Amino acid sequence: MALFRLTAAPDPSPLLRGKGLYLRPARLSDFAAWAQLRDESREFLTPWEPTWPDDDLTRGAFRRRLRRQSEEMARDEAFSFLIFAEGSNLLLGGVTIGGIRRGVAQAATLGYWMGARYAGAGHMTRAVALVVTFGFDTLRLNRIEAACIPENHASAALLKRNGFTQEGFARAYLRIDGAWRDHLLFAIVDGDSPLPPLMGSRSGG
């Protein structure tokens, strides 16, 4: 796994590379592929996500998403990536490390989605590994948290494959698909040992 590490402030357009895929922030040129993948995956995704706004898949909403993405990176609040297949450049999904808390916390929250046609092939496992390494090595976080609905067994298994530990259970934690849902709470801490094999080297090479 190769990760382009940053030695000073985070680059406004970080690029992460792993086996068979790469991650980068969204661009306006991604709109058509993003909207198509999200639209065709709507039934697959909506049970696990907040209710989509009526205009969610419009170009205007995507422009607003890009502005928010840029502002959040500039303020060191969140880093959002789209996931692409190496070689074909096919859009596969997205992953975000957000809600960054500095000071005594040095923590953030992980979120992710995968297009229905690409689910179950290991892409998200590798993408999460890249983003976790980015969070620890580049953003200098100490802790990365994640949560999933108890019925989302695939998501829980993905987190465990990447070294996350289930730490708790939160009632009515997030409003998902129009209803307040209980969630399983997971976290990984910098220095957790041993690192899962899929996370690769922590040297950035």
What is the mean pLDDT of the segment spanning 9-33? 86
Q: Is the peptide bond before 197 cis (omega within 30 degrees of 0)?
A: no
Q: Does 174 fall in a domain?
A: no
- Which DSSP state fits 52? P
Domain of residue 41, CATH code = 3.40.630.30
pLDDT over 90 at 124, yes or no: yes
Tell me what pLDDT residue 12 has. Answer: 52
Q: What is the pTM of this model?
A: 0.87
3-state secondary structure at position 163: coil
Residue 33 lies in a domain: yes
> Secondary structure of the chain: what % helix, strand, coil (to 5)?
30, 30, 35
In a domain, 85, yes or no: yes
| Over residues 44-67, mean pLDDT | 95
Residue 16 located in a structural domain:
yes
Q: What is the dihedral of CA 160, 163, 168, 171, to 10 degrees?
A: -60
Does residue 126 sit within a domain? yes
Tell me, what's the pLDDT at 204?
A: 33
Mean pLDDT (whole number) for 151-155: 95
Q: What pLDDT does residue 197 have? A: 46
Residue 11 is part of which domain span? Answer: 2-141
pLDDT greater at residue 5 or residue 64: 64
Residue 47 has pLDDT above 60, yes or no: yes
Structural domain includes residue 146:
no
Query: Is 180 contained in some domain?
Result: no
Q: How many domains does the chain have?
A: 1
Task: Decide if 69 is inside a domain.
Answer: yes
Instruction: Summarize the confidence of residues 105-124 as an average pLDDT.
Output: 96
